[in-house]
Structure 1
Amino acid sequence: MPPAPESHDSLPLLRRPAFVLAMLLVVYTFNFIDRQILGILAGPIKADLGLSDTQLGALGGFAFALLYSTMGLPLAWLADRRGRTRVIAASLAVWSAFTALCGMVSGFWAMFACRLGVGVGEAGGVAPSYALISDTFPPQRRARALAIYSLGIPLGSAAGILLGGYVAAAVNWRAAFLAVGLAGLAFTPLFAWTVRDPRRPQAGEAPAMRAVLAILARKRSFWLLALGAASCSMMGYGLAFWLPSLMRRSFALGLVETSQFFGLLLLVGGSAGVMAGGVLADWLGTRSRAAYARVPALAFLAGVPLFVAGLHAGSAALAFWLFLLPQALVYIWLGPILTAVQHLVPAPMRATASAAFLLINNLIGVGLGSLTIGKLSDLLTPHFGNDALRQAIQIGLGFYLLAAVLMLAGARHLAREWVD
């Protein structure tokens, strides 16, 4: 039986859950600024480096995901054994340095190598953070805490798009990479000095990686939720990368106007969806464990037709309002699914289990999402011309429907395979 948690009021400020969560949120915001800034800068980079849509898609997804996915497991295992905050701080420094280097490249392969480096760094940031939050917050508050942490996705994506657009318009796209990379490096010492792992008797005694993977391999809910998350991530990352380009091509928006359009869409819609998912999961999950998977599935089913309507809007203003609600709906999954994964293994295994989940989610979702839509756009261009990207995105919405089916199937197994 785990020891009784310390009273939050008796803890010093730097070890209180709210402070730890706030610092992790800042790190995750940097994570997504550095990850998503490429989307708003795709147009200037394409023109400057002479790239195709397929090459841009590879930079936005495959180059990042290749080592991001595969390095996550060993780094999470190290975090379970040696300390989660140490791994997170070192990871922040690495990905920030490579983001800054992206602003100094002269061709496709140099940018590809730098994006690989960003992926290596970010591989050590997310899974240890999930585990650290789960160690810090009680089960009845865990989905909301993970949802607050996941606000780093819309906040970081929006900040990357807005900052990238403004800095690129005022200076150039290279300055945008340098600015956000150096900001992350400046924050690293503060995080490393102030955040500590909670006291856990089992620290340093985490089970072998193969033991964690053996437990997960036997759980149907893990595979169905991980593949469902991968399916929705294919479209989520594909939209995040290509929607700014669609707005510029379809409505002739400038770089700053596009950054305002998509940045506000992510900030308002994405943030509302993330928090709604956490609140709903903590509320409905006390009645039925299956709710952790059913709520996201229903949100995906509701969001697809609204996205289709937005893709065929006659103006940018109408498209914004039509995209706003589905943008919230497709972010609902984060709090519930991430919480469910934490409860498929005992506490000492959480970072490694999260990394296994992220391996599947990111290798498929991040690695193939933007690349698939970019390739589809190139293939459809002879038939649809400037409308090819819209058609490619519309075809890709089918991945949200697949995610809904997989998560509904996973919901049937959650109650039996849940670990308190």
Structure 2
Amino acid sequence: MQNHPPDNDIEIRDTPPWPRPVAAWSAVALFCVAAILSYTDRQILSLLVDPIRADLGISDTQVGVLQGVAFAIIYSLAGLPLGRLADLLPRRAVICAGVGLWSVGTLMCGYAPSFWVLFAGRLIVGVGEAALAPAAMSMIADMFPAERRGLATGVFVMGMTIGGGVAIAIGGAVLGLAASGGFAGIPLLDGLAAWRAVLVLLGLCGLPLLLALLPIREPARRSETAAGGVEATSLRDIFAQLATVRAVLIPVIVCCALMSVGDFALIAWAPALLSRRYAMAPDAIGLALGSLVVVAGVVATVAGGVISDRAVKRHGPAARIWVATLCAALAFPFALVALTTSANQVLAAVTLWTLFSSAAGTIGITAVQEIVPNRARGLSVSFVAFGNIMLGLGGGATLTGFVTDHVFADPLAIGQSLTLVIAPLAGAAILLFLHASRTARSVRR
């Protein structure tokens, strides 16, 4: 069998030493905490809809704008320039600025006197959170060799996976505490409506996180001393370098976006399917579905990273995309939710889809980091996030609702709609992953 270098995505003279494991894993742990707080801030409004509507006198449409358009569009558009900044500036500074910005935005939401101030606060939250993933994943790629990078990336992505569950669990507890007067006499929280106290408390949580992030040392960008000279940093040269690996890069980015359609569609519509077709109570849906999805996401991100790391160690970097292809193929059968005949089968299908799809996505984004030049890593993660948010968040839930209303014209046909939306796109993702895995063998940086 042909031997491959352990970190094939760079070929370096005078290679700087890898950071000490304790320092590297401490940084990853903090990035994971940042991801949890980020996703909690992002998802918390879904728990506060009714009190916000009552307090500010806004409509369901305006609530939808706050949860969807106000966040998704600004997050996607801001992510591209912020990804570029992560390739040019110290990445720790980009992360800290992002944490500070989204914390201010969350505080602004908590004290908002009107819809438009709340809208502006959500825009600020979106810009701040868009800075985290590009900078953190770029740093992780410079902290760990290829055979350990998948696990480290998986731990970071795990924070994103469980953030939504944390928002529901902790947000509900804090909301109840605030409603019962638990914050009476506490500065900044005393006298606030319960929903405002939740947002202000989340915003304040950003301060200790920011202080904890400051001591992290910026790792050396490991391809700046590459054979052949310093890596190009101009945007024109970066795109020229990306063009040399586009046969692998574009399919992997598109695959991640296609799989995310299923992720967002199932999370958005599985509760309605369980409620409408199987008369499952909302509290039972939240407990069962939320717990299963969180556990599946954690297992997927960590196990996917470990397995793909072992594959890279034995067979070289191209093996990582082969593992992603396998995970996408294993997810496909669970897109066929139209075939389910009980609530337990629906729960099993959503859980197993999350397990394999999350693994494929985590492995895919790790592969992207190994395909591209160092100074394009932040930008490349922004491309992945842009596709996932715009196609996944923007298309998954919306397409399913449209098919239910206009194709089947039956509110009980959610299972058929989910299958019609998810299955073809998942099939396309498998074929693209397969193409990318074959092409990756010829890509050497």
Taking structure 2 as the reference length, the TM-score comes to 0.79
Output the amino acid matched with 2:439. H
Of the structure 1 ranges 215-224 and 256-265, higher mean CA displacement relative to structure 2 is found in 256-265
From the superposition, tell whether residues 118 and 395 of structure 1 become closer, same or farther in structure 2 (CA, over 3 Å): farther
Contact 2:324–2:433, Cα closer than 8 Å, also in 1 = yes
Contact 1:232–1:403, Cα closer than 8 Å, also in 2 = yes
Do residues 293 (structure 1) and 321 (structure 2) align? yes
From the superposition, tell whether residues 397 and 360 of structure 1 become closer, same or farther in structure 2 (CA, over 3 Å): closer
In structure 1, C-alpha distance between the alignment counterparts of 2:315 and 2:380, rounded to whole Å: 25
From the superposition, tell whether residues 410 and 2 of structure 1 become closer, same or farther in structure 2 (CA, over 3 Å): same
Do residues 64 (structure 1) and 87 (structure 2) align? no
Q: How many Å apart are 1:359 and its aligned residue? A: 3.0
Contact 1:297–1:404, Cα closer than 8 Å, also in 2 = yes
Q: How many Å apart are 1:77 and its aligned residue? A: 2.2
Do residues 181 (structure 1) and 203 (structure 2) align? yes
Do residues 115 (structure 1) and 122 (structure 2) align? yes
Highest Rg: 1 or 2? 2
Structure 2's unaligned 5+ residue stretches are 1-11, 180-193
From the superposition, tell whether residues 17 and 186 of structure 1 become closer, same or farther in structure 2 (CA, over 3 Å): closer
Correspondent of 1:197 among 218, 221, 232? 218
Do residues 403 (structure 1) and 429 (structure 2) align? yes
Q: In the alignment, what sits opposite 2:4?
A: none
Contact 2:72–2:126, Cα closer than 8 Å, also in 1 = yes
Output the amino acid matched with 1:184. G
Q: How many Å apart are 1:141 and its aligned residue? A: 0.9
More helix as a share of residues: 1
Contact 1:146–1:335, Cα closer than 8 Å, also in 2 = yes
In structure 2, C-alpha distance between the alignment counterparts of 1:251 and 1:177, rounded to whole Å: 34
Output the amino acid matched with 1:328. L
Q: State the secondary structure of the residue aligned to 2:371.
A: coil
From the superposition, tell whether residues 200 and 410 of structure 1 become closer, same or farther in structure 2 (CA, over 3 Å): closer
Do residues 209 (structure 1) and 235 (structure 2) align? yes
Structure 1 segment 84-103 matched on structure 2, within 5 A: 84-103=91-110
In structure 1, C-alpha distance between the alignment counterparts of 2:99 and 2:275, rounded to whole Å: 32
Correspondent of 1:158 among 151, 162, 165? 165
Correspondent of 2:256 among 229, 235, 238? 229
Q: How many Å apart are 1:107 and its aligned residue? A: 7.5
Structure 1 segment 15-414 matched on structure 2, within 5 A: 16-39=23-46, 49-51=58-60, 59-103=66-110, 112-168=119-175, 171=179, 174-192=196-214, 194-200=215-221, 202=224, 207-218=233-244, 219-250=246-277, 256-285=283-312, 286-287=314-315, 289-309=317-337, 312-315=340-343, 317=344, 319-377=346-404, 379=406, 383-385=409-411, 387=412, 389-398=414-423, 399-414=425-440
From the superposition, tell whether residues 206 and 77 of structure 1 become closer, same or farther in structure 2 (CA, over 3 Å): farther
Contact 1:281–1:335, Cα closer than 8 Å, also in 2 = no
Contact 2:308–2:319, Cα closer than 8 Å, also in 1 = yes
In structure 1, C-alpha distance between the alignment counterparts of 2:346 and 2:174, rounded to whole Å: 25
Q: State the secondary structure of the residue aligned to 1:197.
A: coil
Taking structure 1 as the reference length, the TM-score comes to 0.84
Q: State the secondary structure of the residue aligned to 2:137.
A: helix
- How many residue pairs are counted as aligned between the two chains? 409
In structure 2, C-alpha distance between the alignment counterparts of 1:161 and 1:66, rounded to whole Å: 23
From the superposition, tell whether residues 133 and 23 of structure 1 become closer, same or farther in structure 2 (CA, over 3 Å): same
Output the amino acid matched with 2:333. P
Q: State the secondary structure of the residue aligned to 1:189.
A: helix
Q: How many Å apart are 1:339 and its aligned residue? A: 2.0
From the superposition, tell whether residues 397 and 357 of structure 1 become closer, same or farther in structure 2 (CA, over 3 Å): closer
Contact 2:106–2:125, Cα closer than 8 Å, also in 1 = yes
